[in-house]
Structure 1
Amino acid sequence: MTADLHIHTTASDGHLSPQEILKQAIEAGLSYIAITDHDTVDGLLELNYTKVTTIGIIPGIEFSTDLPTNEVHILGYQIDINNFELRNHLEVLVTHRRNRIKEMVEKLNHLGYNIDYLRVLEIAQQATSIGRPHLAKALIEKGYFSNVSDVFTRLLDKNGPAYVPHYKLTPLQVINLIKRAGGIPVLAHPGLIGDDNIVRDLIATGILGLEVYHPTHTEFQVEKYLNIATDHQLLVTGGSDFHAVPTRFPEKLGVFTISASLVKKLQK
């Protein structure tokens, strides 16, 4: 029995709808999946996940947090997606995301890239949580670039000429929000943070698990974070960080998985 606890849908920046994710996960023979869209639970609402009986679905979410020099993402598992406080915070985050894209479109226009905000919304389709990948697609559509990676490198990466920071909660705020929504805060892909002192600080702040298994982690990192999780009695999770992007590993669900036994520990 296998699982994948880090999956994005078209509710944020994934390329497959929640229904398409469910279909592909079942075809791949997965026993459990977690939908972890950025700053939204609309994919779970669209899927009506509590009624699904063909596969176990863990309700989740992924937050970006506010640290000045490092990118820190925190996953929330087993959350109550109808929690009033959680939904209020998500509405604020979604509004700020849209305003951010408007500002970035204005910057791009000033830089000579003729992009229309309404077209970005059309490209995002049903996405609640609009982000830079949607803007990158608009630039590619106009013929300015050939791939998303180039767009980010030239324009949209942090400190890039068209970059605008978006409103974020602090790690402590996110951890407490997830806990108050009945969930379990897990530090996403700690190897990408680039500073294990921050990882240890976040554990002290109240993180309850580490995403040990991630496509970007080396064997050395997996062993290191397993040891840290053991030393601090943390839950161990993992997932493919699946977006269904053709050039990004993995390109299909079921290629990168974890043991379902880890899910059962999470559920307990």
Structure 2
Amino acid sequence: MPGVPAILAGPVDLHLHTRRSDGDESPAEVARRCLAAGLRVASVTDHNTMAGIAEFTGTVGRSMTVVPGSEVTARWRGEEVHCLAYFIDPADRRFQRQLQRIHDADLDWWRAWAERVRHIGVPLTWEDIAQRIGGDRIAYPGDYLALLAEAARDDPRFAEYGPTEHERLATDWCRPGRPLHVPEPWMPDIMDVLSWIADAGGVAVLAHPARVLDVSDSAQCRALLEPLVAAGLAGLEVWTSWHTPAESAGLARICASLGMAATAGSDYHGVRVKSWVAAPGRLPSLPPEPMAVLDALCDRRPTPLKPEAEL
């Protein structure tokens, strides 16, 4: 589903992806795009990994403030949601093990999917996928479907699908009851993720919340968010390529009423993966004071329960 056209350029982007997860560019390439966009604050938030941060930071040097981050998969109210975890030391071994468990569950899911593809007679193996995408990388879902369409190009069952009709291909073949359906992988409960982030000294922000909340009902949103705030949720990603300006304005008011930080992030993946975000920092609407976003996050940094060496 396409997001909202992102046309304004801001100096802060706290939601960026690289090829360390489902982005289309290396951390160094994303760093150079951030420099070209004139960003002053940036955060690489690859899914369930922090592996790209060192390369990104080394490329930008002292040209901007880099906030270490990761986008952590969780489950809330029966749905998949994503928590942006900021300010966590990539060397925190316990947090890295927790991320690795989610990553491995996703990887097992794609391996099972590849086995179903092979089972229905399409000549695509996990070895083929690993060679094209990477054996330990969780890529953009469309990349797997593109490989399926390529491998099945002479199969009459797939003749009706064009090379970019990934959504229709997924609907017809991968939904529950379809031949390529695989049950969802394990995801931790959001309360557990909030605990992990707090214990690691990080700040937790709910990514693109309008995708799981009815922003038009602010009272219901506050009621749903209050238990998460009590458990350590510090902010909402208010300004993002997934939100309309009206949704962002509503979420900013909800943040103010709950004492939460309101953050900004483009969810940049590269223009091939996410064509409506042409560069880092591009958003449909911007915070009134963009640099205050970083201050708000810093103000909410907790103190870890104890140093990792004592655990």
Cα 1:152–1:55 change in 2 (3 A) is farther
8 Å contact from structure 2 (residues 76, 189) kept in 1? yes
Tell me, yes or no, if the aligned pair for 2:129 and 2:135 is still in contact at 8 Å.
no
Q: In terms of mean alpha carbon deviation, does 225-234 or 107-116 score higher?
A: 107-116
**Counterpart residue number, 1:88:** 97
Matches within 5 A, 1:1-268: 2-49=11-58, 52-67=61-76, 69-125=78-134, 128-130=137-139, 132-142=141-151, 143=153, 145=161, 146-147=163-164, 148-156=166-174, 161-195=180-214, 196=221, 198-246=224-272, 248-256=275-283, 259-268=290-299
For normalisation by structure 2, the TM-score amounts to: 0.77
Distance 1:159 1:42 in 2: 36
TM-superposed deviation, 1:243: 0.7
Residues in 1 aligned to 2:36 and 2:102: alpha-carbon distance in whole angstroms = 34
Structure ID, larger Rg: 2
Name whichever of 257-266 and 73-82 sits farther off: 257-266
SS of residue matched to 2:13? strand
Given that residues 187 and 209 in structure 1 are in contact (C-alpha distance below 8 angstroms), is that contact kept between their aligned partners in structure 2? Answer: yes
Unaligned runs of 5+ in 1: none
Relative to 1, partners in 2 of residues 1:159 and 1:21: Cα closer, same or farther, differing over 3 Å?
farther
SS, match of residue 79 in structure 1: coil
**What CA distance in whole angstroms lies between the structure 2 residues aligned with 1:185 and 1:158?**
32
How far apart are the structure 2 equivalents of 1:156 and 1:131? Answer: 15
Q: Secondary structure at 1:73's aligned position in 2?
A: strand
| 8 Å CA contact 1:59, 1:77 repeated in 2 | yes
Deviation at 1:17, TM superposition (A): 0.4
Show CA shifts across 1:26-77 (max 9, x none).
0111111110000001111343559821221110001111246323111101
Amino acid at match of 1:176: S
1:152 maps to a residue whose letter is: A
Q: How many residues are aligned here?
A: 268
CA distance in 1, matches of 2:73, 2:142: 15
For 2:280, give the aligned amino acid.
Answer: L
Q: Cα distance 1:137–1:43, how it changes in 2: closer, same or farther (>3 A)?
A: farther
Deviation at residue 201 of structure 1 after TM alignment: 4.2
Contact in 2 for aligned 1:101/1:132 (Cα 8 Å): no
Distance 1:99 1:5 in 2: 29
Is the CA contact (8 Å cut-off) linking 1:155 and 1:163 kept in structure 2? no
Say whether the 8 Å CA contact 2:109–2:182 is kept in structure 1. Answer: no
Letter in 1 for 2:249: E
The 8 Å contact of residues 28 and 59 in structure 2, kept in 1 or not, is answered as no
Query: Helix, strand or coil for the counterpart of 2:270?
Result: coil
Residue 92 of structure 1 deviates from its aligned partner by 2.0
Contact residue 13 and residue 130 of structure 1 kept, 8 A: yes
Larger deviation, residues 183-192 vs 162-171 = 162-171
Q: Please give the secondary structure, in 2, of the residue aligned with 1:71.
A: strand
Q: What is the one-letter code of the residue matched to 2:75?
A: D
Using the aligned pairs only, state the percent identity: 25
Greater Cα shift, 4-13 or 70-79: 70-79
Shift of 1:127: 5.9
Aligned residue type for 1:187:
L
